[in-house]
Structure 1
Amino acid sequence: MKASLEQLDSGLNQSLIFRHFSLPYFDAPYHFHPEYELTLIIKSEGKRYIGNHVADFGAGDLVLIGPNLPHCWKNETIGMEDSAQAIVIQFKADFLGGDFFKIAEMQNIGHLLDKASSGVVITGATKKRIAREIRFLLNVPPIQRVLGLLDLLNTIASAPQDIQVLEHQAQTYQLAKVDLERINKVYAYVIENYTQEVHLETAAYLANMTETAFCRYFKKVTKKTFLDVVTEYRIKHACNLLVNTDKQVAEVCFESGFGNVSHFNKQFKTITGQSPLGYRKLFQTV
């Protein structure tokens, strides 16, 4: 899987686009684009990847993504022709003018868009309200969509209790286009393979570098080693399994890409501060 650059279709002559997808599965690769994106999952489940954050998703999942933040939704199975449904809104930062979101009246929304550079998940009552409004805006004239989008963003920005910022690593995605494409090819490879074998040699090849040069380059850009990133994806996958299934620790270990339970336990505690069983207990209801 290769991270690809996606852009709005210039032939549509629009800076604000609403799209309704109905597919057997979400087939968009790990990709990025210069527009903001607000995505509502109508129907489907699987894994959501935003930057280097991984989590389960299901119907009702609602996420705001900033420019050039790579992302994808991956289904674990292929269903009927309408098994994966989503409404996606994409808009350019300057679609209302270069400084529109900097004026005093738009300050609240401006702060929200800043947070979107790391990915924002909307939850609670705000998510339900936004989901209803997005469905309504699918079938209204363009000018009403513009006004509706401003209302959506203001509603989200006015409910900080229902906002979860995914990753505070926006600097990773403020790179030159060539660097962004190179790094995201590597992230795409990791996402596709982290539950199995991941090879440094392959990652270096994707970046068109020697292994030594790639290791230096990757650490400089991401502030982490390549192995650190692979391990983080595996631990996040393990966290999801521990919370959402009753699988034994050894089973979680191997399904997350680790080959040794002792090593898994050590890495898990280093990253989360808890043992696998201790982490599971934190989420068990009394």
Structure 2
Amino acid sequence: MKVLEFTPPVPKEDSVVVDEDILPYFYNYFHRHKQLQITVILHGTGTLTAGNYSQSFKPGDIYILGANQPHIFKSDASHFSHPERMNAHAIHVYFDQSRIPGQFFDLPEMESISNFLPTTQYGLQLPSQYVTHVSRVLTKLKNKNSLDRLLTLIKLFDYFSKQVRDWKSLDSGLSRNYFFDGEGVRMNDVFQYTLEHYAENITLNKIAEIAHITPHAFCKYFKKHTRKTYNAFLNEIRISEACKKIINSNHDGISTIAYSTGFNSATNFNRVFRKTTGMSPRDYIKVYKSKLDKLAS
């Protein structure tokens, strides 16, 4: 597989198109397209990979993905185990800025939007306190006509640029190193295999075999394109999955989580978890439960 050039269902005359997915699982390929994309996850969980950045996604998350930014919303394995269930539900808004005359964004009234749009290049996640309002806007957008969609999106960009603070960047500092098609074939195979087999003992020889190069060449190749070791990347995926298990209460204890996400000991899991999240697994559980209590009160 490679970084596919994906064409959203965009009528030639429209600059804004809304697509609603109600499927067993999300689009299962690392892909990119020329349109900026706004996605609200309504149902389903998994791992978002945007450029060289990875994190878990869940219902209520809203993301902006930059034009031509390679990405994949990889559904959890349970989605594939029960394809008869409509586990994935999301609304995607595609905006093709190239259809809008450049002079439009030079208008004084558009200054804040013109400054905001370049910041979306490497991806952003909307902070949780703004999700309710924005989700409502995006959900209603699919029922509007072409002109109203464009006007509503311009207003939404204005809201993003003036009202929203503390965006979460999806730029790992590495995402500028996008892959040419030949490289995309190899890196996408590595990403896909890691997402599907993270709980297993992935040896250097095995992942090098997936990439069709020698182990020594793979180490140099992966470090060159991501500026991190493969083991560091693998640990990020494993910790992301561990956090989802904690949130979903899908565990019988810390040791169970450790072994189910590919770690060979609870001690090693605790060390990597603290290094990745800045807190211990037990503290992470306490923080999460505290947030739940605040929401319930």
TM-score tier (shorter): 0.7 to 0.9
More displaced 10-residue stretch of structure 1: 115-124 or 230-239 = 115-124
User: Counterpart in 2 of 1:140?
Assistant: 144
Task: Give the counterpart letter for 2:96 in structure 1.
Answer: K
1:192 CA displacement: 1.8
User: Counterpart in 1 of 2:281?
Assistant: 276
Structure 1 residue runs without a partner (length 5+): none
User: Counterpart in 2 of 1:26?
Assistant: 26
1:120 CA displacement: 1.7
* CA separation of 1:254 and 1:224: change in aligned 2, threshold 3 A: same
1:33 CA displacement: 3.0
Structure 2 residue runs without a partner (length 5+): none
What fraction of aligned residue pairs are identical, expressed as a percent?
25
Residues 155-194 of structure 1: per-residue CA shift (max 9 Å, x gap): 2222333632234335344443433443233222212221
Relative to the length of structure 2, the TM-score reads 0.80
* CA separation of 1:102 and 1:81: change in aligned 2, threshold 3 A: farther
User: Counterpart in 2 of 1:74?
Assistant: 75
Q: Could you tell me whether the CA contact under 8 Å between 2:122 and 2:169 is conserved in 1?
A: yes
User: Counterpart in 2 of 1:115?
Assistant: 119
Q: Does 1:225 align with 2:229?
A: yes
Q: Could you tell me whether the CA contact under 8 Å between 2:30 and 2:70 is conserved in 1?
A: no
Structure 2 CA distance for aligned equivalents of residues 112 and 170 of structure 1: 21
Quote the RMSD (CA, aligned, Å): 3.0
* CA separation of 1:98 and 1:274: change in aligned 2, threshold 3 A: same
Aligned residue-pair number: 283
Q: Does 1:214 align with 2:214?
A: no
* CA separation of 1:190 and 1:103: change in aligned 2, threshold 3 A: farther
* CA separation of 1:276 and 1:129: change in aligned 2, threshold 3 A: closer
Residues 65-92 of structure 1: per-residue CA shift (max 9 Å, x gap): 1132312141433365644322111223
* CA separation of 1:105 and 1:7: change in aligned 2, threshold 3 A: farther
Q: Could you tell me whether the CA contact under 8 Å between 1:50 and 1:72 is conserved in 2?
A: yes
User: Counterpart in 1 of 2:255?
Assistant: 250
User: Counterpart in 1 of 2:61?
Assistant: 61
More displaced 10-residue stretch of structure 1: 11-20 or 32-41 = 11-20
Q: Could you tell me whether the CA contact under 8 Å between 1:195 and 1:255 is conserved in 2?
A: yes
1:225 CA displacement: 0.7
Q: Could you tell me whether the CA contact under 8 Å between 2:46 and 2:57 is conserved in 1?
A: yes
More displaced 10-residue stretch of structure 1: 175-184 or 67-76 = 175-184
**Counterparts in 2 of 1:74-113, with a 5 A limit?**
74-75=75-76, 76-77=78-79, 78=82, 82-97=86-101, 105-113=109-117
1:224 CA displacement: 0.3
1:115 CA displacement: 3.5
User: Counterpart in 2 of 1:48?
Assistant: 47
More displaced 10-residue stretch of structure 1: 147-156 or 22-31 = 22-31
Structure 2 CA distance for aligned equivalents of residues 3 and 81 of structure 1: 28
